[in-house]
Structure 1
Amino acid sequence: MQLIAEAEQLKPAFMKEVDSHFTEFVNSLVAKSALLDSSSSLFPDPCSEKDLHKAKTLRAPPEHGKIFTARRSLLDELFEVSHIRTIYHMFIALLIVFILSTLLVDFIDEGRLVLGFDLLVFVFGKLPVVFCTWLCMFSATVVVPYGLFSQWAQSYSSSSHRVILSTYVTIAYALPPASRFIVILEQVRLVMKAHSFVRENVPKVLSSVKEKAGPVPIPRITQYLYFLFAPTLIYRDNYPRNPTIRWGYVATKFAQVLGSLFYAYYIFVRLCIPQFRNSSQETFHLRGLVLCIFNSILPGVLILFLVFFAFLHCWLNAFAEMLRFADRMFYKDWWNSTSYANYYRTWNVVVHDWLYYYAYRDFLWFFGKKFRAAAMLSVFTVSAAVHEYVLIICFGFFYPVLFCLFMCFGMVFNFILNDRRKGPIWNVVMWTSLFLGQGVILCLYSQEWYARQYCPLENPTFLDYLKPRSWSCHTQM
């Protein structure tokens, strides 16, 4: 009884202490949540010195970077809602309409059903060359970065590294556009993966040597191989994994990728090729250009949706499922964006994470926090240059439409339509500008493609490759 009485006397003090600590914990969570929500730029600000010191005391070093957690893709969750699933069914119905339209027109013109897919056969031509080139790139990415890093980590001596000549292969073998896209995008992906592997492991080796903490931490080759196939550009020794593989889910995602491919085929056949094939032979005038841009908005936006759905959702989720990769946040709700800053952060989370941790944050680490604007400008420039490089190699001509839109309008909208812009009207403004941008890109690149088909040059000079052919093709014809 005496113990019970003493416990009752201590109970108020104990509950007061617990309540005090709990209140501090909740206030800390609210403050951190408000700090995250107040981010108003393309990239959130790095941690302050006080935050870094606190992180060290909590044994969470600031260089830890992105934290992977098990979570589903947003569309997988949204498709469980019948209203969202109906929108998906509407797109399937539109594909059926495209197929029926093509079959009926071909039947009227030819008097029979024409089931040829000449465009797909053309753009995906020379696939054996593509596979051999990819195999060489992948082997070089496995052997060179991992081998050189292992030698450096063990001997602490620097080494030079080789350059993958996939760009030369695409030009020398005259690969078709889609085949070039496969090779060049894989080249860019493997380079980004190799950079992440080296960037994440070199500090570990240097820290281990400085602290003399036993053997040098060199990742196993199996960990590196898993990272090369995993749908992320941020290297970690281990990732959250799902317990099983749903092979039915994998088959469904690859079937949706194939369906998206045929969807794009019918968009080009019914909406793009007839328009641009004829407009490229007409005399240039401002009215025709304006009509071309606005007529290109619908197919341009449909292609944008298909690229997002086929690659960022279906393709990445299929590989994530086969590898039991649990973190499926490859994108966020970019369609709800009221600012371009938020759109850039949420459209492609995989690439944005790489740019944030290895371009933006490393730039600030090297030059200091006062150069945030310069850091953001450098990230925009690198991203725009890489996108334009991909298009130059894949299309076979230099026409920096995307680069100019990215660096001019993209930068301006990033600062004007920032995260302080809230409300439905700004979402409408964002979508309107996005629609117009897609129309400009599809129209101008398509005109240039057909101009180079109709007005070839026998002995082109270097300047001929840089000068847009669509500006002079009408005069020659």
Structure 2
Amino acid sequence: MATPDTGNNVRHRNASKGPSGIPSPADGEPKRRGVADAELEADGLIQWKRHIEQVKAELLEQIQGPLNDLLDKAIAESVHSYSKCSTDGVSINKPTRVHRMEDGKVFMSRRSILDELFEINHIRTIYHMFIAALFLFIISTLAVDYIDQGRLVLEFDLLFYAFGKLSTVLWAWLIMFSYTLAGPYHALGLWGGCYHSSHFKGALTAGAGLALAAMQMCILGLFPIYVVVQYQLPPASRFIIILEQIRFLMKSYSYVRENIPVIINHKPKQGEAPRLPTFSSYLYFLFCPTLIYRESYPRNPYIRWNYVAVTFAQILGCLFYGYFILVRLCVPVFMNESNQPFSTRTLVLALFHATLPGMLILLLAFFAFLHCWLNAFAEMLRFADRMFYKDWWNSTSFANYYRTWNVVVHDWLYYYGYRDFLWLSNRRFRSAAMLSVFIVSAVVHEYVFTLCFGFFYPVMFCLFAVIGVVFNFTLNDKRKSPVWNIIMWTCLFIGQGVQVCLYCQEWYAQIHCPRTGRSFWELVTPRSWSCSYQR
């Protein structure tokens, strides 16, 4: 009786194995789990490596300034001690302090913070909430149009108006780009090729600098202003021209600024010409999302075209989002108040009505440009350093907010404004250097808004040069409590509300109360101050 039972057990055990004794799927389940665990562990190692690289980059940026200060202090103390020894009768050659102008930003492969955060389901839900709000705007617009006019048609008339005359924008951009590609590159090449062989280096450098400055002033200075004013471009088209003008100016300055010290410090051997930058590296620099020139940058191995398509779709979605915010939240408020006399009450009510749309516009501008636009071009160019911004939303001080909001522009201002000012002043006037950077930023912002809106109303200048400076020095990095993050966000909400409110009022005042003369004071005095009705 035991034999059949034993045979059945043997057959049962053999049945659980496939050919050549390979375990059946039931026995292979632990192996698959082991493979899955190994894959998860590998993903974890990749994420950990990216985190370490990001920490490394942030650590290098944070210690670079204090380390330079420490070295300068050590050199100054050693010079002081040596000079004291020389006064005691000991002859020692005094070392001179050398500013290494080639020191600058370190580029490395790293991802944008939002790309990492969107891999977390909890954070991605916030992104989904914004998309749902966009759908709600569309549905509400359709419903209002159907109730008021009996039709279901979305008319993007404001959007088409804002981006009108794109053909003029295109040929103007081509002229600016062609000059930026050829002018600074060949000017630097001609000067660099003749510098070491010339007996009049000072005169040669001054002449080349004046010639380049004159070309910059004509093509990248006056020409965009002429196009904007002469052809009466609409606001969004003006923004394209003026922002590209500033970008080309900053890029060409960085290219010249980074290569002049290399050429000057070059010690050529007999018959050897200094090594000049390649044309391909300069062409790549004009399109890559950074304002700091380097001969080469870290590159990714391939292009993710699906990522590029998604980012451009997100940019288009942000444009429609901004359109619905203006049409549904801004225009009705100011149009409904057009028949009311201007008073403090109407101003306060308009300000708080504009707070929410102002903050939404700020977040959309950040996401559309600093994340989507720059990441799209970085992906197409395989540009690996995606640190275009940092976690500015966690800032507990405005000093940290200004450093982390727009890293691309901050790097340019820091290395070519703040640090060069300290170098010229022998590191004596740090507050003056920081103040000068704020003034330059405020003037440029006001220049952009004045030309793009077509009127002078120094709201942006006052927010940057006055309130921004005060907040930068008072709400500094010593503020670490989470309460200060709430204060920062409250100030941002109020500041954005002030901008949207005052600029919308002035826009309607310029339409309904046009200027009667062309005197200087009439051009610089806001029309909303004297217009009988708020528009």
Distance 1:250 1:371, change over 3 A: same
Q: Where in structure 2 are there 5+ consecutive unaligned residues?
A: 1-54, 76-98, 196-203
Are residues 1:140 and 2:179 paired?
yes
The one of 341, 360, 365 equivalent to 2:399 is 341
* Partner secondary structure for residue 282 of structure 1: coil
Tell me the residue number matched to 1:395.
Answer: 453
- For residues 329 and 67 of structure 2, what CA distance do their matches in structure 1 show? 44
Q: Would you say the 8 A contact 2:339–2:534 is kept in 1?
A: no
What's the CA shift string for 1:90-133, capped at 9, x where partnerless?
Answer: 00000011000101001111111122110011000000000001
1:51 offset after TM fit, Å? Answer: 8.4
Cα separation, partners in 2 of 1:472 and 1:84, compared to 1, 3 Å: same
Task: Tell me, in whole angstroms, the C-alpha distance in 2 between the residues paired with 1:303 and 1:33.
Answer: 29
Which of 250, 253, 277 is residue 195 of structure 1 equivalent to? 253
Q: Deviations over 1:134-185 (max 9, x none)?
A: 0000011111111111111011233212122111100100000000000000
How far does residue 281 in structure 1 lie from its aligned partner after superposition? 4.0
**In structure 1, how many angstroms separate the alpha carbons of the residues matched to 2:59 and 2:377?**
35
- Structure 1 segment 15-414 matched on structure 2, within 5 A: 46-49=68-71, 63-156=102-195, 157=204, 158-159=207-208, 160-161=211-212, 162=215, 163-164=218-219, 165-209=223-267, 214-414=272-472
Q: 2:518 aligns with which of 455, 460, 470?
A: 460
Determine if contact 1:46/1:361 at 8 Å carries over to the other structure: no
Matches of 1:50 and 1:92, distance apart in 2: 52
Secondary structure of residue in 2 paired with 1:357: helix
Displacement of 1:34 after TM fit? Answer: 9.0
Alpha-carbon separation, structure 2, partners of 1:37 and 1:426: 22
CA distance in structure 1 between the aligned counterparts of 2:125 and 2:495, rounded to whole angstroms? 28
Q: Tell me if the contact between 1:331 and 1:350 (Cα under 8 Å) persists in the aligned partners.
A: yes
- Rounded Cα–Cα distance in structure 2 between residues aligned with 1:89 and 1:187: 35
Q: How far apart are the structure 2 equivalents of 1:287 and 1:44?
A: 50
Deviates more, 1:274-283 or 1:162-171: 274-283
DSSP 3-state at the match of 2:386: coil
SS at match of 2:429: helix
Aligned-residue Cα RMSD (Å) equals 2.3
User: Structure 1: how far apart are the matches of 2:423 and 2:330?
Assistant: 47
The 8 Å contact of residues 246 and 321 in structure 1, kept in 2 or not, is answered as yes
> Displacement, 1:37?
6.2
Is 1:450–2:508 an aligned residue pair?
Answer: yes
Quick one: distance in 1 between partners of 2:58 and 2:284?
Answer: 34
Q: Residues of 2 paired with 1:52 and 1:129: CA distance?
A: 57
Which SS does the other structure have where 2:154 is aligned? coil
State the SS of the aligned residue for 1:98: helix
Query: Of the two structures, which has the highest relative contact order with CA contacts closer than 8 Å and spacing of 6 or more?
Result: 1
1:463, CA displacement in angstroms?
1.9
Tell me the equivalent position of 2:527: 469
Q: Is the 8 A contact 1:122 1:176 kept in 2?
A: yes
Give the equivalent residue in structure 1 for 2:478: 420
Look up the equivalent residue of 1:204 and give its one-letter code.
V
Q: Helix, strand or coil: the match of 1:436?
A: helix
Q: What is the CA deviation profile of residues 14-73 of structure 1, one whole-angstrom value per residue up to 9, with x for unaligned ones?
A: xxxxxxxxxxxxxxxx9x99997699xxx87854435898xxxxxx95632001000000
Structure 2 CA distance for aligned equivalents of residues 44 and 383 of structure 1? 24
**Distance between the aligned counterparts of 2:528 and 2:404, measured in 1?**
35
Count residues in correspondence. 438
1:456 Cα deviation (Å)? 1.1
Give % identity. 61
Whole-Å Cα distance in 1 between the matches of residues 338 and 467 of structure 2?
A: 26
Q: Measure the CA separation in 1 of the matches of 2:271 and 2:71.
A: 26
Give the TM-score taking structure 1 as reference length: 0.88
Answer whether contact 2:176 2:245 (CA < 8 A) is retained: yes
Q: TM-score, normalised by structure 2?
A: 0.78
**Mean Cα deviation higher: 279-288 or 414-423:** 279-288
1:280–1:474 Cα contact (<8 Å) kept: no
SS at match of 2:382: coil
